[in-house]
Structure 1
Amino acid sequence: MTSTTTFELHNGVTIPKLGLGTWRIGDDEVAHAVREAIALGYRHIDTAQAYGNERGVGEGVRAAGRPREEIFVTTKVGADIKDYRGAVASIDGSLAALGLDHIDLMLIHSPQPWSGFRSGDHHFEGNLEVWRALEEAYRSGKIRAIGVSNFEAVDLDNIIENGALKPMVNQVLAHVGNTPFDLIRYARSKDILVEAYSPVAHGNLLRNGDLAAMAEAYGVGIPQLCIRYCLQLGLLPLPKTANPEHMRSNASVDFEISSEDMAILENAERIKDYGDASHFPVFRLGD
């Protein structure tokens, strides 16, 4: 399964090429979803403090019956935290909520608090304070890899130029119809892995007739086509689902999209409506 093949981060840590996203899966149901995913072969689970389900994710990981070192767990420092002491407490809070002895990857969830997302204030000093706390937790063994999420090139430069360590990952919104190619190329030039959240555009690509026709030609579903698209771009997709059948099909992407079809997908019309998710800051950009 793609969920068990890996990328190697620039610090030598390996990370499974496909992860299970858990945004908007409630804390009371996410443990079951995580156990199901691990039983199906997933070895990478993505959560965040903002999701409010770290406790359930940790429960699912512990109850899955696999050695801890086989499961890669990602979480994220809350976007509103922009100071060192707050970040230290945040890191320890995630460890306690997850009930795990270490976190495999921890990210700064956003360069700005959500209330000021993409407002023009990059919070350079605050992000460096949070980064210092992450670096210390990394050196102490609490975290195996550190990175960022939703960072633009200028935000990456702030960390690269002023931190002791450069980010290992940048997790961003990336899918057919909204792929930040310049940012992906820039991150790659700095040896930073790009992860793609919402690779099926929060489900909105499921209604695309052109994608449906292309997927049918490959004998797959639209989600599989979108996930494979990300993988062929060298991205790490994080499709979210609590449905075991969807988990199974999302990981069944052992096919190759032709170069001609990749060119069509790379130039697909930009998505401007994310449905019920449009009020969230990261999706508001499509309006």
Structure 2
Amino acid sequence: MITGYKKKRLGHPSEKLSGDVPRAGWRAVLFSEVIFPVFMAVLFIIAYMFVKSFPGSNGKQPPSPLIRIAVISIGPIVWNAAILLTLFIFSLFLGPMLDPVFPRFGSVMAFIAHILGVIGMLGFFEFLWFLELWDASHAVLGLITVIAIQRAIHKILISVFLSREFKHDETNRAWWTGRWYGRGLGAHVMSQPAREFVVKIIELSLWSSDLLLGHFLLFMLTPPILIPYFDRFHATILCEYLINSDVSLLANFVTPVWLRPSKQIRAPLYSIKQKRQRRWLIIKYGIFYVLALATFIALIAL
């Protein structure tokens, strides 16, 4: 682990869940978490600048690609920092009054931050898509470069600016609710807001990226799920491959789940109420899925 945990604090229930984890050695952190990500980011920057060094179709030299990629890369991080700083001030002054009255005040603040983080990530992607004049090859290369640069920035922030963390979740709750008193932080209560600010910037950026990547992979599965009995075909192919291959150990673990169609358990019989509930769930989440897919297509095609 890069940051490691602070030493156990007697009397706190969460301290019993795991032992003390020391920080990783500085040599391992330097090469794997700083030098290598920076090297990869520089490599992709050089590739992007080389592609953008050629004149456009109109014969004019394009604007500085370095400034463009810097704005697109650092922009979402600055956006997340501004969101978190604004919500931190809001929760710090109003949280002690609103949190006792509205128990979900912290959850609402976290929800607002995460939604705005995703909007910012999408906005900067659309900005890159617009600057590249809807050229897919340049946009994909620019997106890969942005990911490499942000990964290097996150790694440097984690390795250089983050101290050991607590095993409990009190700092996270204090950040969203604004109630820093009574958390058992002791003398660390003065330094934890600054540390948690850096942590939240990284978490918000990674969460937004993971959400978009997860939905992209989900949408890629849309064509197969429209084919009737594709799930049974997939289960049959995988089961036959594992049985006929030499991977007997893996087959022992997987074949109880991926059964042959002739040996599959029949569909259970549901009551009328259960059928109605399942039908309503399919309709509700199906509508959400179609809306999300339409939004994703519109962001790319329009």
For the aligned pair, the TM-score class normalised by the smaller chain equals under 0.3
Considering fraction of residues, name the structure with more helix.
Answer: 2
Query: What TM-score results when the alignment is normalised by the length of structure 1?
Result: 0.25
More strand by share: 1
Task: Specify the structure having the higher radius of gyration (Cα).
Answer: 2
TM-score, normalised via structure 2 length: 0.24
